[in-house]
Amino acid sequence: MSLSPHTKEPLMILPDDDFNRALLDNVHPADWINPTPKGRYHLVIIGAGPAGLVTAAIGAALGAKVALIEKHFMGGDCLNVGCVPSKALIAASRVGYDFPTAMARMQKLRARISANDSAHRFKRLGVDLFFGEGRFTTANTVLVDGNSLKFNKAAICTGARAAKSTIPGLEDAGYLTNETLFTLTNLPPRMAVIGAGPIGCEMAQTFARFHSNVSLFVKGNQILPREDADAAQILEGRMKKDGISLIFNSKITRVTAHGKEKVIHYTSDRKDHEQVVDEILLGVGRAPNVEGLGLDKVNVQYDVETGVKINDLLQTTNPNIFSAGDVCFPFQFTHTADAMAQILIQNALFPHPFGLGFARASSMVIPWCTYTSPEIAHVGIVEEGIETDTFTCSLADVDRAILDGEEEGFARVHLAKGTDKILGATIVAEHAGEMISELTLAIKAGIGIASIAGTIHPYPTQSEVIKKVANEWKKSTFTQQKKNILQKWFEFTR
């Protein structure tokens, strides 16, 4: 194990093997020498997760002088402890890998993908990359590893981390988060997952498919509470088939340790219960990384729970400092961070009225997907907050889904009442994340469902379910008055 010469923190990704050493060589090279600052930067970015990386890459490609600061590992949570390792495990669990082999496969693939986010790649792109803890010291200066970086504009892209436990005894008993889960080398025989959001549901199902005995503790009476209730119900049924014990309306009162075992004391349906497990995965939320940045010195308002305060242009309360990604936005997805980075670049480097004009966060149409089996994807509204017409088609009516043995699911589209304007949609299917983009594009481009109804979809595909939903709308527009007119026409032409 070596220490970072910039932060004096241990440089190691567990387990310490060839794949993780290759990852480390990309995301925080032990021998990295920070460059000498080159005068005033157009843009200084703190944080090299998805938002920071995209901001830096675009800024440098446009010819701006850009500095990028990273305290830990390039790629942020997504590459190291989030999307990349979790999706590798999900894929392996579906095709029957044993757990140690699946983990080794994940480490190999993560190391391969890390080349995209590597320190040396960004140096080649023309970005001045500094490893160390960046903090604002004056209105136009960031200090990192003893270097003062002057800037015209700055960007806070420091992301978020797993929220700490508030359950009595859990800290002492020990638990996993997404930040430590992917260091496991052996499958826990019994596993508890606390929290039924996307991370909790994805990992509960994944570990169950590796044949761990999984209990999922659900605070309310529905998993994935931000999703369509019908969608959640389908997934609940599948999880039960996978052997997961779903504990609804649960409140964990304390956790105790009994040797290597952990005992969860909880109430459910007004009764006291105990559950003995080998590992506990906590997935109950995220906390923004706002500490230690010197935000108070530069008049940037923030909250330790909701993060940096921004306006629609991604400006903080200091107009020369912007923010993007999980540190400031409630929809914490890699693709959202990417989109925000592009808005940030436009507003920070090309300010209105002399450049390209303002871009706005409110213009984003954000889809998201939970990568369970089946997947649940949605975009736009889910609940009826305004008057809508809603149309649904089951995958059981789609030939390809039947042939694939994947007919458990549906597509549902919400339209502004009396129109073909698409307000939102939910898809439940094995490949819902691949299918939702057609509807996202329609919303973004203002394309009504009439255009989808008139679009040829290849047969047989599961995406035909979207065309079938559009056809359901089309049928609804065929009123009795139209039928009467047609009847008279046919009588006339007989």
User: Is there a single domain that holds both residue 354 and residue 439?
Assistant: no
pLDDT score of 355: 61
User: Is there a single domain that holds both residue 122 and residue 229?
Assistant: no
Instruction: Render 316-375 in DSSP notation, one character per residue.
Output: -SSTTEEE-STTT-SS--HHHHHHHHHHHHHHHHS-TTTSS----GGG---EEEE-SSSE
The model's pLDDT over 183-221, given as tens digits with 9 standing for 90+, comes to: 999 999 999 999 999 999 999 999 999 999 999 999 999
Alpha-carbon distance 317 to 136, whole Å? Answer: 14
User: Is there a single domain that holds both residue 156 and residue 190?
Assistant: no
User: Is there a single domain that holds both residue 182 and residue 91?
Assistant: no
The model's pLDDT over 370-402, given as tens digits with 9 standing for 90+, comes to: 999 999 999 998 555 689 999 999 999 999 999
Domain count, the chain: 3
Query: Is there a domain that residue 70 lies in?
Result: yes
Q: Is there a contact between 286 and 279 (Cβ–Cβ < 8 Å)?
A: no
State the residue for tokens 């032990």: 30
Phi-psi region of 63 (alpha: psi -120 to 50; beta: other; left: phi over 0): left
Amino acid code (one letter) for 419: T
pLDDT at residue 245 tops 90: yes
Burial of 305 (0-12, 13-18, 19+ CB in 10 A): exposed
User: Is there a single domain that holds both residue 440 and residue 382?
Assistant: yes
Torsion of CA 141, 143, 147, 152, to 10 degrees: -20
Query: Is there a domain that residue 250 lies in?
Result: yes
The pTM of the full predicted model, rounded to 2 decimals, is 0.95
User: Is there a single domain that holds both residue 59 and residue 134?
Assistant: yes
Distances 231 to 6, 203, 370 between C-alpha atoms, Å: 47, 18, 11
Alpha-carbon distance 455 to 217, whole Å? Answer: 44
pLDDT at residue 139 tops 90: yes
pLDDT score of 1: 56
Over residues 258-275, mean pLDDT: 95
Structure token digits, residue 68: 């990028």
Query: Is there a domain that residue 268 lies in?
Result: yes
User: Is there a single domain that holds both residue 150 and residue 192?
Assistant: no
Q: What is the CATH number of the domain that holds 428?
A: 3.30.390.30
Handedness of CA 162, 164, 169, 173 (dihedral sign): positive
Three-state DSSP class for 11?
strand
Handedness of CA 29, 32, 38, 40 (dihedral sign): positive
Query: Is there a domain that residue 485 lies in?
Result: no
Mean pLDDT for the chain overall: 95
Beta strands 261-268; 271-277: pairing state: antiparallel
* Maximum separation of any 2 CA atoms in the chain, in Å: 90
Q: What is the CATH number of the domain that holds 198?
A: 3.50.50.60
Structure token digits, residue 191: 């596993």
pLDDT at residue 477 tops 80: yes
Domain boundary among 261, 284, 307: 284
User: Is there a single domain that holds both residue 291 and residue 278?
Assistant: no
CA-based nearest residue to 289, from 52, 58, 13:
52
Element (H, E) at 388: strand 388-394
Query: Is there a domain that residue 491 lies in?
Result: no
Percent of the chain with pLDDT over 90: 90
User: Is there a single domain that holds both residue 278 and residue 296?
Assistant: no
Q: Which domain holds residue 298?
A: 2-162+287-363
